[in-house]
Amino acid sequence: MTTAPYITPIESSRTDAASGWQVGGDWTLAHYARLREQVLRLQGSATGGQLDLSALQALDTAGASLLADLVGPERLSQLVENASDLPGERRALLLAVAKAILRTETCEHPQPVAAWREVLGHIGEAVTEFWDQAMALLGFIGLTLSSMFAILLRPRRWRMTSLFAHLEQSGLNAVPIVALLTFLVGAVVAFLGATILAGFGATIYTVDLVAFSFLREFGVLLTAILMAGRTASAFTAQIGSMKANEEIDAIRTLGLSPLELLVLPRVFALLIALPALTFIAMLSGILGGGVVCAVALDIPPAMFLSLLQENIQLQHFLVGMCKAPIFAFLIAVIGCLEGFKVSGSAQSVGEHTTSSVVQSIFVVIVLDAVAALFLMEMGW
């Protein structure tokens, strides 16, 4: 049976003002609303006074917090410590609540940070993250190269089945999309070039524009971007799923090297596939430009081929083909590295798959731009 809680003043013999307060009844959560109203009404006048808890029957943390609000947490701690007739469990409860309230009140609130400091902080975090990723990539490239050189002279350690499987997946299956995309881009470049050059009466140079752009830049660049989106993401998802399923730990337990078993076949496959796809992309792009020249510019195929042979040097083809192995190696390494970074959840697999595509495309475009500037300055 519950008893209604109450707060009554303790009259002083020297003054009409109350020298303290007597609380009684059940100070529990069930009576919290009624007690809260009384405490709010008496809160200012009760601070610093005496507190008689002899008539208190039931008490929980809600009632203890109201008592702390009534006389203040510091005063409540002093009164409880001096109340020798108070039961031990009740004294412990009141002291714990009072100390918790004091600890909360003394907590320092964080000062607002200026907007420019937040901006600089985000920039610093981005730079640090970029530096860490660059160092991790360089370290993984070193491990991959050392493993490649270690097994080149040991044919028994070559994973030929895995190599041909990845070669089919990343090379042969990508031929249709690479050929179609570069054919369409070649046609678009021919249309745009003819539109601009027609104003100068130099429509015939559309042939040189298409051949020059695809042999040096577009053929290898478009192929590398497609491989970054198609193959790097596949490498990351495959290795990441194995990491999430603890298959890589099982490989290590069997005494095998995950780098040799999972990374090297993918790297070798892309080193073979991307140059071959680059060659196909060059042919498809030039073919798309030739179709446009034949249909819209009245340049027959024989004349188109003759202009290619006369005006386009072999070095432009070699420049484009020399970029392909470099791009292939970096795309494969980035895709595999992001796969090993997966923490074990499906969300992590998705995040690192996206990261591998973004990093691969970024690295490919940056290196292509640097190579173009360098080769232009060298006169190649």
Q: Tens digits of per-residue pLDDT, 316-368?
A: 899 989 999 999 999 999 999 988 888 877 788 888 889 899 999 999 999 99
Instruction: Report whether 28 contacts 59 (CB < 8 A).
Output: yes
Residues 254 and 351 in one domain: yes
Tell me whether residue 139 is in a domain: no
70 pLDDT more than 80: no
Q: Is residue 265 included in any domain, yes or no?
A: yes
Same domain (yes/no): 357, 272: yes
Domain limits for position 76: 6-106
32 and 101 fall within a common domain? yes
Nearest 5°: the CA angle 360, 366, 371 is: 120
323, 329, 331, 337: CA torsion to nearest 10:
-160
CB 339 within 8 A of CB 237: yes
Of the three residues 83, 106, 129, the one that is the final residue of a domain is 106
| Whether 281 contacts 220, CB under 8 Å | yes
Indicate if 281 and 182 belong to the same structural domain: yes
Asked if the structure places residue 136 within a domain, the reply is: no
Q: How far, CA to CA in Å, does 211 sit from each of 41, 193, 316, 372, 376?
A: 89, 12, 9, 16, 17
Q: 271 burial class (0-12, 13-18, 19+ CB within 10 angstroms)? A: middle
DSSP state for residue 1 in the 8-state scheme: -
- Pairwise CA distance, residues 74 & 103, whole Å: 11
* H/E stretch holding 286: helix 264-296
CA neighbours closer than 13 Å in the CB half-sphere of residue 226: 25
Distance from the Cα of residue 184 to its chain's centroid:
33
User: Once rounded to an integer, what is the mean pLDDT over residues 167-194?
Assistant: 91
Q: Judge whether residue 102 has pLDDT over 80.
A: no
Same domain, 162 and 237: yes
Residue 147 domain flag: no
pLDDT reading at 15 higher than 60: no
Last residue of a domain, one of 84, 106, 128: 106
In a domain, 270, yes or no: yes
Q: What is the mean pLDDT of the chain?
A: 84
333 with 190, same domain: the answer is yes
Q: How does strand 6-11 pair with strand 50-59?
A: unpaired
Q: Order across the sheet with 50-59: list the strands.
A: 6-11, 18-27, 50-59
> Could you tell me if 33 and 95 lie in one domain?
yes
Q: DSSP E strands: which ranges in 114-245?
A: none
Of 318 and 95, the one with more pLDDT: 318
How many domains, in total, are found in the chain?
2
> Which residue stretches of 171-218 are H helix?
175-198, 206-213
Under the banding of pLDDT at 50, 70 and 90, the label for residue 273 is: very high
Residues 227 and 321 in one domain: yes
Residue 323 near residue 366, CB atoms below 8 Å: no
Res. 277: pLDDT tops 80: yes
Residues 89 and 191 in one domain: no
118 falls within a domain: no
Residues 277 and 190 in one domain: yes
Using a pLDDT cut of 70, give the percent of the chain over it. 92
